[in-house]
Amino acid sequence: MNSEKDNTNPSIIENGVHILSPINNDFEGLYLKLRSKERRVYTDEELLLLPSASTSNPHKKEWELRAQSFLRFIDYLKTKKNNLTLLDLGCGNGWFYGQLSKLFNNNYFCADINLTELKQAKKVFTSGNINFYYADIFAVDFAGQLFDIITINASAQYFPNLTTLINRLMNLLNENGEIHVLDSPFYENNESEDAKKRTIEYYSSTGFMEMAEFYFHHQWSELSAFNYKICYKPDSILNRIKKIFLFSDSPFPWIIIKK
């Protein structure tokens, strides 16, 4: 372990990762055991490829869908100026901003509460414009840093109260900032109970029933208080036509919430 102090920030730095919150070893240990059983703990070489997974990746089909979301977001960033400041909340192994940091001259902040994957991300993605943080988003302020874009990429379902989360993130945005929710499921009010049952059944089948209490089923109605638009809707007429011709795309929406 390599720990040091950053003279410009009071956090501890461990193997290049800024530690801004107390580490929850119990949760991380349980989460990593599940990830390992699901075969989602990747080698450095595989991580560098994502979202273009190798043929040996057991989740290659899933990554092909996520690659579609990634390409849409790239096209969106091409319409923006450079030198934006972005935060990826729930970044996991950091592949999303790791790849973006190679393409766009922006300032990238990646935050999660999985120190093992954060350390791997720091080792694999070495661009000078990307930093990794172990941080509880409700307890840190990134030294007063404000963001132009905050992404919640395939991680909204791990936060229990979406309204509380969005209100918190609004306070971290610049004046014209945006929150992007990608590749996370949303349900109509009459769908969420069945989804909860499926989640319990899944975690029970894996032997990690405890993880069900950390997975939440957010409803579209939770967004009603915010200024949002849907940039990609999987059940649109266009995407239904694509499915007829066997063109696969993400089953989850892309939502932009503006300040």
At 245, the pLDDT band (50, 70, 90 cuts) reads: very low
Q: Record the pTM.
A: 0.92
Residue 86 and residue 147: Cα distance in Å, rounded? 6
In terms of Cα–Cα distance, which of 192, 194, 186 is closest to 235? 186
User: 93 lies in a domain?
Assistant: yes
Q: Three-state SS for 82?
A: coil
What band does 247 get if pLDDT is binned at 50, 70 and 90? low
Any domain includes 248 = yes
Question: Once rounded to an integer, what is the mean pLDDT over residues 10-33?
Answer: 92
The domain containing residue 117 runs over which residues? 17-258
Look at the block and give the residue holding tokens 């509380």: 164
Would residue 130 count as lying in a domain?
yes
Q: Is the pLDDT of residue 15 over 90?
A: yes
Task: Give the per-residue pLDDT at 235.
Answer: 80
In the DSSP assignment, the letter for residue 194 is H
| 2 domain-assigned | no
Q: What is the pLDDT of residues 79-100, one digit of tens each?
A: 999 899 999 999 999 999 999 9
Q: Rounded mean pLDDT of 137-150?
A: 95
Q: Is the pLDDT of residue 30 over 80?
A: yes
Return mean pLDDT, the chain. Answer: 92
8 in a structural domain:
no
pLDDT beyond 70 at 3: no
CATH number at 213 reads: 3.40.50.150
Is residue 113 a part of any domain in this protein?
Answer: yes
Cis peptide before 51, with omega less than 30 degrees from 0?
Answer: yes
Confidence of residue 246 (pLDDT cuts 50, 70, 90): very low
Residue 11 lies in a domain: no
User: In the predicted model, is pLDDT for residue 2 greater than 90?
Assistant: no
Secondary structure of residue 100 in the 3-state scheme: helix
- Within a domain: residue 7? no
pLDDT tens digits, residue range 165-209?
A: 999 999 999 999 999 999 999 999 999 999 999 999 999 999 999
Poorest-pLDDT segment among 100-109, 222-231, 240-249 = 240-249
Number of separate domains in the chain: 1
For 52-56, what is the mean pLDDT?
Answer: 97
* DSSP notation for 104-171: S--EEEEEES-HHHHHHHHHH---TTEEEEE--TTT--GGG--EEEEEEES-GGG-S-HHHHHHHHHT
